[in-house]
């Protein structure tokens, strides 16, 4: 049964098992490799992307729930050549170490800034709960505050 | 004679043991008991926590990932229940789900409460969101999130989650019988 949605401003229709995790549709069918597989249990957050502006764990998001939705992945976060404030801040603060989990963190952060433009440390602790095995949390916290500044929050 | 006496003592002890077992494992009898055996089960109480953090799992540990109630019981700004939970179980990922997955309001905290305290709380319009008895019965017997307890799916290791100790039909019947009798709260119950 075909599923139709918009991803990074591009309308797409895929004819795949509607119970397939959106993560694998994004990566393997649509060839957008920025969204990462981490745990497959909605625990680590490496697969975070936006569905209608809300951060979701795509490894546990069956394709059928994407019908008619607007999806944004890390590849669609920038507007043309203008990097998103989160991406700018991540670059400024040289956040990544190995980098594997960072797209998920950036998508989670972008979703947070949409709701709370100038988050406190407590807001960050409550909302950004992804897992980074390189433990780049300290630099990420700085980058989140910097992204808020760049956004004018 | 000694053998006979020993045999008598053994039989007596066995019968006593059986009687004790029968007493301690007697099936829930009144509609209130049957209803409460479900409502005090972890599948219900995990999302009726006493604080602002849900519980999860068979041991009712505090929900991982610093998950919090938020303003409306649906999580905080960018970490909503719907970040992970869908309207149905995801048995591939082991993430449970049901329609409008969320925490019960603070006023309906059941964790640590006795059965009579929970019943009084359910019937108190100041704490139950102004619900009538009919509303409560509908919530308890028709709400898909409540009835999820009998279809709890599997955990992230593929192990089926424990269901309440009574069947869904026995529970629904008990709730309706309890309400039809005027929703009595036994004075002797804990």
The answer to the question of residue B97 being in a domain is: yes
Q: How sure is the predictor about B29, in pLDDT bands with cuts at 50, 70 and 90?
A: confident
Q: Domain range holding B168?
A: 30-180
Q: How sure is the predictor about B27, in pLDDT bands with cuts at 50, 70 and 90?
A: low
- For A72-93, the pLDDT digits (tens) are 999 999 999 999 999 999 999 9
Does B134 lie at the interface with A, CB-CB under 8 angstroms?
no
Residue-level pLDDT at B84: 98
- For B90-147, the pLDDT digits (tens) are 999 999 999 999 999 999 999 999 999 999 999 999 999 999 999 999 999 999 999 9
The answer to the question of residue B185 being in a domain is: no
Q: Please state the domain count of chain A.
A: 2
Residue-level pLDDT at B9: 44
- For A87-134, the pLDDT digits (tens) are 999 999 999 999 999 999 999 999 999 999 999 999 999 999 999 999
- How many CB pairs below 8 Å do chains A and B form together? 66
The answer to the question of residue B16 being in a domain is: no
- CATH number of the domain where residue A99 is located: 1.10.150.120
The answer to the question of residue B39 being in a domain is: yes
- Pair B125, B134: CB distance under 8 Å: no
Residues in B closer than 8 angstroms to A63, CB to CB, are none
d(CA A29, CA A37): 15
| Same-domain pairing of A103 and A45 | no
The answer to the question of residue B24 being in a domain is: no
To which residue do tokens 């869908």 refer?
Answer: B86
The answer to the question of residue B37 being in a domain is: yes
Is the pLDDT reported for residue A7 higher than 50? yes
Residue-level pLDDT at B189: 65
Residues in B closer than 8 angstroms to A123, CB to CB, are 76-77
Fill in the DSSP letter of residue B145. H
The answer to the question of residue B8 being in a domain is: no
- Report the percentage of chain B scoring pLDDT > 90: 83
The answer to the question of residue B20 being in a domain is: no
Domain boundary among A53, A76, A99: A76
Q: Domain range holding A23?
A: 3-76
Q: Please state the domain count of chain B.
A: 1
**Beta bridge partners of residue A62, listed in sequence order:** A21
| Same-domain pairing of A9 and A71 | yes
**A83-98: b or e for each residue (b if 16 or more CB lie within 10 Å)?**
ebbbbbbbeebebbee
| Same-domain pairing of A133 and A100 | yes
HSE toward the beta carbon, residue A131, CA cutoff 13 A: 15
Residues in B closer than 8 angstroms to A128, CB to CB, are 78-79
- CATH number of the domain where residue A42 is located: 3.10.20.30
Residue-level pLDDT at B93: 96
d(CA B11, CA B164): 35
Overall size of chain A counted in residues: 153
- For A14-60, the pLDDT digits (tens) are 999 999 999 999 999 999 999 999 999 999 999 999 999 999 999 99
| Same-domain pairing of A71 and A96 | no
Domain boundary among A21, A56, A76: A76
């Amino acid at each position: 049964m075909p599923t139709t949605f918009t991803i990074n401003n591009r309308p797409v229709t895929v004819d795949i098992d509607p119970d397939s995790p959106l993560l694998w549709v994004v990566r393997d069918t649509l060839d957008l490799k920025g969204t990462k597989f981490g745990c497959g249990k909605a625990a680590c957050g490496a697969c975070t992307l936006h569905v209608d502006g809300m951060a979701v764990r795509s490894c546990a998001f069956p394709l059928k729930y994407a019908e008619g939705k607007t999806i944004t992945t890390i590849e669609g976060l920038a507007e043309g050549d203008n990097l998103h404030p989160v991406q700018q801040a991540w670059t400024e603060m040289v956040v990544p170490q190995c980098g594997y989990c960072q797209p998920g963190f950036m998508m989670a952060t972008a979703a947070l800034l949409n709701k709370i433009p100038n988050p406190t440390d407590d807001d960050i602790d409550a909302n950004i709960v992804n897992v980074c095995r390189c433990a780049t949390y300290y630099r990420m916290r700085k980058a989140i505050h910097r992204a808020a500044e760049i956004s004018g929050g | 004679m000694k053998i006979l006496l020993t045999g008598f003592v053994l039989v007596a002890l066995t019968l006593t043991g059986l009687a004790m077992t029968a007493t301690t494992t007697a099936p829930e009898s009144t509609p209130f008991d049957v209803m409460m055996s479900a409502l005090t089960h972890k599948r219900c109480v995990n999302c009726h926590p006493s604080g602002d953090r849900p519980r999860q799992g068979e041991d009712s540990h505090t929900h991982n990932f610093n998950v919090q109630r938020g303003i409306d019981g649906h999580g905080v700004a960018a970490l909503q229940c719907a970040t992970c939970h869908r309207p149905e179980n995801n048995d591939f990922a082991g993430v449970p789900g049901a329609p409008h997955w969320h925490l019960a309001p603070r006023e309906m905290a059941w964790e640590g409460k006795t059965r009579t305290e929970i019943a009084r709380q359910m019937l108190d319009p100041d704490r139950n969101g102004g619900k009538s008895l009919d509303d409560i019965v509908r919530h308890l017997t028709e709400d898909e999130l409540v009835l999820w307890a009998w279809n709890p799916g599997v955990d992230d290791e593929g192990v089926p989650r424990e269901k309440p100790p009574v069947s869904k039909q026995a529970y629904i019947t008990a709730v309706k019988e309890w309400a039809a009798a005027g929703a009595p709260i036994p004075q002797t119950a804990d």
